[in-house]
Amino acid sequence: MCSPSLVRHPDGFLLASMDLFAGKHPQNLTLIYRSDDDGNSWHYVSELMPCFWGKMFLHRGELYMLSCSTEYGDLLIGKSTDGGKTFSSPVTLLRGSNGKNGNNGVHKNPQNVQYYNGRIYETLEWGAWANKDFCHAAMVMSCAVDDDLLVPESWSFTEPLRFSKFAPELQDLPNDTMTIEGTLTVVPDGRLLNIMRFGKYGKVIAYEVDTEHPEAPLRYSHCIDFPANFSKFMIKYDAISGRYLSIATRVYDREKPHARNLLSLMSSKDLEHWDLVCDLFDYRDGDAQKIGFQYVDFEMEGEDIIYLCRTALNGAHSYHDSNYSTFHRISNFRTLLH
């Protein structure tokens, strides 16, 4: 159970979605669950097919799902008006392919949408893991907040930007260096950055969005020290504390760069310097090949953080092939910030 997505519906209940992953299988089914008691118990609501790598989000009080039809398939969007029980027929925003055979298509991850100067933004990539010559090219999609999100013509897409040795600090990296699963963040100086999972130990790569030209390619900005760069992460800004926050799989051993058995809450005042707030799940003494806490989707609610985690534990096939989707709460999280 992968691609955790979490949202608080305007009617008060929680919705959680996750897709089903199995290698060499269709990769096109997403399950949706609902909690009416703030996450203490959950019940099945519906399922979506085709739907993979999906993210539920709210726009002007209405519930949307943005997803792919399958791995590297079409980019789809649909809307629910009954709390996730049913969705409209999916609308194709971008035509993909099937990346299992190396053809390029849409790659994305469940990320928070970002509002900026009257537009709504989301991240994606173009490429395929199997295409080692092309790999993944970074993109951003956007539309005006007043436009109909279900109309393909409402959306603009930036020209895909493949990784290159843009600057001296990147010269030691191969051309197929990983740049995937970005999170959109407004930095203190007001720019909109796409901060991406990156294939250099302890670093993430930041691309600047040209907010004046919705189809212009992203521009390389710089690299940032970030101790959780080998797995999907989400960054959100907490206006009350003035901190950027992330719940992510912390990298702790150069000999085990892909281990995902340490999940941590981290904070930053400037996005450049990150502090450990606390470790949430520390299984470093466990089997790093079988245990994983990853791909967290989180929300700040009052004094608490709630989050949904892709969890591999108690006999999972591997740390990657999670056998749980788990819900958690961090109470009074601001009291933990230094």
Supply the pLDDT for residue 253: 92
- How confident is the model over 276-289, as pLDDT tens digits? 999 999 999 999 99
DSSP string, 113-180: -EEETTEEEEEEEEE-TT-TTT-EEEEEEEEETTS-TT-GGG-EEPPPEE----SGGGTTS-TT--EE
- How confident is the model over 117-140, as pLDDT tens digits? 999 999 999 999 888 888 999 999
- How confident is the model over 168-202, as pLDDT tens digits? 999 999 988 999 999 999 999 999 999 999 999 99
Amino acid found at 212: E
- How confident is the model over 299-315, as pLDDT tens digits? 999 999 999 999 999 99
Share of the chain above pLDDT 90, in %: 92
Over 80: is that where the pLDDT of 338 sits? Answer: no
